[in-house]
Structure 1
Amino acid sequence: MPTKIFLNEDEIPRQWYNLAADLPGTINPPLGQDGKPISPDMLAAVFPMNLIEQEMSQQRWIDIPEGILDLLYRWRPSPLHRAIHLEKALGTPAKIFYKNESVSPAGSHKPNTAVAQAWYNKEFGIKRLTTETGAGQWGSALSYSCALLGMECKVFMVRISFDQKPFRKSLMETWGGECVASPSNETQVGRDILAKMPDTPGSLGIAISEAIEAAVSDKTGKTRYALGSVLNHVMLHQTIIGLEAKKQLDKFGIKKVDTVIGCAGGGSNFAGLAFPFVLDKINGADIEIIPVEPASCPTLTATPFSYDFGDVAQMTPMLPMHSLGHKFIPAPIHAGGLRYHGMAPLVSHAVEAGLMSPMAIKQLECYEAGLTFARTEGLVVAPETCHAVACAIRCAKQAKEEGKEKTIIFNLSGHGLMDLAGYAKFMAGELQDIVMSAQDVKESRRISITGYPVPKI
C-alpha cells in the first residue's frame, strides 16, 4: 500500500458541502440584542451580501466559482498520508491516515476560506479587510489571500501570541498585511480594555471586537470584516478537505472509516474534514466523529448549548453555541488557535444531536504526541494539531487493546515550524497542564451570561 495519495487537479471538488441542509432538528438563528432573529441586512456593514447569502443558505451543495478554484489550485488538492511509521511505533492494528493541510503557502488549512472570502469581497467591490488572529495562522492566510487579489489587510493579533510568535507578524507583513497586538490603542474597544487591564494577554473575543470596529468605522464603505472560523460560510469553505479525503480514501481502497478526528477551537479545520463524514453518519454509517479541544478551554465538553456573543464588546449577533462566555480570557497555552470562548454553531448543534463525541486533552499529553509524531512521521505539527494527534494515538492504542483493525483519519491542520518555542519549553520541562474546573467554567459563564437559552434539539 502506498504511503500517500494525491488527486489530480481535475479531481478537485467543484462544490462545497453545507451541513446546515441535513442536520436534524431546527437550526437556531443568530439573534440581535433584542433577542429576535437577525435579518441579512443587519450584517451588511460587516460582510458582503454574497457571503451573507452563504451564511444563511440551506442549500446542500454550493458551487465553487472558477475564480476561487484558480486560487485553490496553487496548493490543492492536498495529499492524504498513511501514518505507517506511527502505526508501527504504537504496535496497533489500526490504519491511521492524515490529511496534510500544512502544504498550503500559509502552512495550514486557513487559506481554504481566506481565498474564498477575499474573492467574494473583491467581487463585491471591497478594497480592505480587517480580521483577528490567535496563533497567527488565520492572519497569515488572509494576508496571503489579500496579496493575491490586490487588497489591503489589517490583522489584530491576540497579545500573548503576538509576543510568543513574532515571526507570524513577519510572515503577514511579507504578504503585505498589517499586524498589531490586541488589545490596541487603535480602537475604542482596545483603549477601554487597556485602561482596565493594561497587562491583559488578550483574547480572540477582544481581537474580534477591534477588527469589527475597524471595519464598520470606515466611512468609505470599502472595508469589511473576515472571520477565520465559527461562522457557517467558513465551515462551508473548509469542507473541500473532507470531500478530497473521501476520494483519496477510496483510492487507498478504504471502504469504511471508523474514526474521524480534528482539533477544535472555533471549529473550522475540524468541520472541514468531518462534515462530509457527518453526512454519512446521518445516513446510517457507523462512524465516531471526535472534535478535540484543550482542557484549558473546554467548550464542547464543559458548557451548555446557549446563546452568547462572539466578541467581548457584543458587536456580533448572539450565536447558538457551546461557550465559556464572551468575556473569557484564556490561559496562555501555546495552542493559540484553540483559545476561542465559543464553538461554531453547526458543530455545537451536531454535538447536541449526538452526531459527535467531543474530547478535551491536556497540554502536556498533546506536546508528547507531537514529539511522537515528529519522531515517527517526521513532520513537526502545530500545537493545535497536536490535539488531533493525541486523540488519534489514544484511539490507535484502544484498537490495539481491543484487537480491532480500525481505520482512523485526522486532519493535520498546520505545521509547527513557527511554534518551536513551545516545543522547546515542553522539552525543557517548563510547561504545565492547565485545566478549567467546573467552578472555573461556571464563573466564566456567569460574568458573560446573555439570558437566552437554546431550545432543546
Structure 2
Amino acid sequence: MSGPVNVPTHWYNVVADLAGYVAEERRPALQVGTHGIRPQLPLSIYRQSVSKEPFIEIPPAVRAQYERWRPTPLVRAHRLERLLNTPARIYYKCEAASPSGSHKLNSAVAQAYYYKKAGVRGLVTGTGAGQWGTALSMACAAYGLECIVYMVRCSYEQKPQRRILMELNGAQVLPSPSLTTEAGRSILAEDPDCPGSLSVASSEAHEIAQEGEGIRYSAGSGDNHVLLHQTVIGQEAVAQMQALGDYPDTVVAALGAGSNFAGIAMPFYQQSQITGRPTRLVAVEPRSCPKLTRGVYMWDHHDALGNTPMSKMYTLGHTFIPSPIHAGGLRYHGAAPVISWMYHEGLIDAVALGQSQVFEAGVTFARAEQLIPAPESAHAIAHVIERAVRARETGKAESILFNLSGHGLMDLASYDKYLSGLLESDSAADEDVERALAKLEPARV
C-alpha cells in the first residue's frame, strides 16, 4: 500500500499539453422541418469540454463527495509477481474501492452536481456493462435527480444484478434496443434479436432527452469533460508512486471509449512532458471491438442513428454492433476524439486481446491477489501478464502500473462460463469486425 496522499484539488486537462489538437465537431445536415438536437450540456460542463487550461478546479462539494472513498489504494501485486516468477514490479490502482465498484463515479458525481446547479430535473443515459448506469444512479440519488438508464440488452440479460443495483438507487432501467423510443423500435424492426450496443443505447437516451421536459443526456465516456473528471485517478497514482520511490515504465488500462484509460494515463503523460522520462501508455481493447488497432480514423457519429454531431476518431462505424462479449463496457464503436488523436500521433499504444486470454488473466489475478476484477479490467491484466512474462524472459525489471477500474462481483456468471468451458469463441466477433471494416474501407485515409 502507498503512503498518505491527498485527493486532488483540480482535474488535469491533457488538451493543454497537446500542441496541434483541436476539439471540433461537424453537425449532421438537417432534414426540412427539423431543428437538430437540443443542446444537452450546462454551460459549466461545456466550458470544461472546450477548455485549454491545464487544470480545472474541482468544486468543494464534489471534492467532499470524492473524499468519501478517495484516494483509492495503489497496491503492489507481490503475489502475482511471485506466481509469474517475474522481475517486473506490478502495481494496480484499485478503483473497485468506490461505492459503485468502479471508476465511473468520479464523473457521475461531478456531472450530477453541475446538472443540478443548472436546474435540470433528471438525467438519461446509455450504459454498456452497467458500471456507468450504476454510478449515475447513485449520483442522481445523492443530488435528488431522476435517472433513466438504457442498458445494452446483452448486458441487461447477462448482468441482472446491475439492473437491480440501479433500481435500488431509484433509476428506471430499460433494455436497449427497446420499444419505448422510435430509435429502438426501428432497430428491432430490422433485427428483433439485436443484442444492442452503446451507440444504440445512446440513440434511445438522446431521443428521451429531446422530448422530456427538464431531462438531459449524460455521457459516461468519450467526451472531454468525462476524461477530465477521471484524471483524479492518475494524479493520485503519480503521488502514490512517488511516495513509494518508484515510477512506472508502462501504464496500462482497458479502453472502451476512453474514460478508464484517460483517467490513469493522462497525468503520466503530463509527467513525461515535465520530466522528460518516457512512460509507455497502453490502451487494451477487445478483439471483438478493436477501434484503435483496426478501425478507421475518420469523422463519425456517436450514436447509432447518426443524429449526434460527428467527431474525428478511430471508429468501426456508428452502426457497428459488436458480438455480445462479457466485457460489455468495452463495446463502444469509437475511441474518444482526444485519445484517437494521441494514438494517431504516436503518443500512446494499443493492443487488442481475445476473451479467453482475458478471462484466463482475470482468474490468474483473482487467485493470486484475492480480488475479482471486472472483465474490462481483466483486459489490462492480460497485457500486464504478457509484459511480466516478457520481463522474466529478458531479465528486465520493468515497473508496470495498471488501472483496476472495477470489481467483478457482478460478473460471476461470466466467470462461470469461462470456468465451465462455455465461453463464446472470438471467431464470430472477428467476422463482425471484418464486415464493419469492409463498409468503412472507402473512408480509409
TM-score by length of structure 2 reads 0.95
- Counterparts of 2:179 and 2:387 in 1: how far apart (Å)? 46
Selected match of 2:27 from 27, 32, 38: 32
Residue equivalent to 2:382: 390
Q: For structure 2, which runs of at least 5 residues remain unmatched after alignment? A: none
Measured at CA, do residues 158 and 437 of structure 1 come closer, stay the same or move farther in structure 2, by a change above 3 Å?
closer
Aligned to 2:147: 153
Code of the aligned partner of 1:22: D
Determine whether 1:246 maps to 2:243. Answer: no
CA distance in 2, matches of 1:159, 1:197: 13
1:370-401, Cα deviation, whole Å (9 max, x unpaired): 11101110000100000000011111111111
Judging changes above 3 Å, is the alpha-carbon distance between structure 1 residues 378 and 450 closer, same or farther for their aligned structure 2 residues? same
Query: 278, 296, 300: which is aligned to 2:269?
Result: 278
For residues 369-408 of structure 1, the aligned pairs below 5 Å read: 369-408=361-400
1:204-353 equivalence runs, <5 A: 204-218=198-212, 220=213, 222-254=214-246, 256-283=247-274, 284-353=276-345
Match of 1:109? 103
Residue aligned with 2:293, SS = coil
**Retained in 2: the 8 A contact 1:243–1:276?**
yes
Separation in 1 of the partners of 2:373 and 2:231? 21
Moved over 6 A (4+): 436-439
Question: Any idea what SS the aligned residue of 1:375 has?
Answer: helix
Shift of 1:27: 2.2
| Aligned equivalent of 1:5 | 2
Offset at 1:433?
3.5
Does the aligned pair in 1 maintain the 2:37–2:307 contact within 8 Å? no
Residues 235, 268 of structure 1: 8 Å contact kept: yes
Cα gap change, 1:162/1:438 in structure 2, threshold over 3 Å: closer, same or farther?
closer
Whether the 8 Å contact between 1:308 and 1:450 is mirrored in structure 2 is no
Map 1:25-174 → 2, pairs under 5 A: 25-34=20-29, 45-174=39-168
Alignment correspondent of 1:189: 183
2:218 and 2:317 map into 1 onto residues whose CA distance is 22
Task: Provide the rounded CA distance (Å) in 1 between the counterparts of 2:427 and 2:265.
Answer: 26
Q: Secondary structure at the match of 1:120?
A: helix
Instruction: State the AA in 1 paired with 2:269.
Output: V
User: What's the CA shift string for 1:154-181, capped at 9, x where partnerless?
Assistant: 0000001001100100000111111000
Range with greater deviation from structure 2 (171-180 or 187-196):
187-196
Counterpart for residue 424 of structure 2:
432
Tell me: CA distance 1:129–1:437, structure 2 relative to 1, closer, same or farther (3 Å): closer
Q: Say if 2:9 and 2:57, in contact at 8 Å, map to a contact too.
A: yes
One-letter amino acid of the structure 1 residue matched with residue 86 of structure 2: T
Q: Where does 1:442-453 land on structure 2 (aligned, <5 Å)?
A: 443-445=435-437, 447=439
Shift of 1:253: 1.1
3-state SS of 1:301 partner: helix
State the 1:67 CA deviation: 1.1
Query: 1:7 corresponds to which letter in structure 2?
Result: P
Q: Secondary structure at the match of 1:146?
A: helix
* Equivalent residue letter for 1:25: G
- Give the 3 Å change call, closer, same or farther, for CA 383–438 of structure 1 in structure 2: closer
Mapped to 1, the partners of 2:290 and 2:202 lie a distance apart of 20
* Separation in structure 2 between the aligned mates of residue 20 and residue 243 of structure 1, nearest angstrom: 16
| Native 8 Å contact 2:323 2:432 kept in 1 | no
1:295–1:436 contact (8 Å) kept in structure 2: no
The CA deviation at 1:319 is: 1.2
TM superposition shift of 1:186: 1.1
Alpha-carbon shift at residue 302 of structure 1 (Å): 0.4
Q: Which amino acid aligns with 2:407?
A: H
Q: CA deviation at 1:7?
A: 3.2
Equivalent-residue separation in structure 2 for 1:262 and 1:172 (angstroms): 25
Distance 1:209 1:401 in 2: 48
**Quick one: which amino acid aligns to residue 19 of structure 1?**
V
Aligned equivalent of 1:22:
17
Q: Is the 8 A contact 2:37 2:210 kept in 1?
A: no
Query: Are residues 440 and 133 of structure 1, via their aligned partners in 2, closer, same or farther at CA, if it must alter by over 3 Å?
Result: closer
CA distance in 2, matches of 1:439, 1:329: 12
- Give the secondary structure class of the aligned counterpart of 1:387: helix
Amino acid at match of 1:380: I
Amino acid at match of 1:278: Y
Structure 1: tracts of 5 or more residues without a match? 36-40
What RMSD, in angstroms, separates the aligned Cα atoms of the two structures? 1.9
Q: CA deviation at 1:440?
A: 4.9
The code of the aligned residue for 2:272 comes to: K
Counterpart amino acid of 1:279?
A: Q
SS in 1 for 2:414: helix
The equivalent residue for 1:175 is 169
Offset at residue 74 of structure 1 (A): 1.3
Paired residue type of 1:20? V
Structure 1 counterpart of 2:239, which letter?
Answer: K
The residue type equivalent to 1:276 in the other structure is: P
Task: Give identity over the alignment, percent.
Answer: 47
Relative distance call for 1:294 and 1:436 in structure 2 (3 A) is farther
* Counterpart residue number, 1:38: none
Q: Partner amino acid for 1:266? A: A
Q: Deviations over 1:125-159 (max 9, x none)?
A: 11100000111100000000001111100000000
Deviation at 1:315, TM superposition (A): 2.0
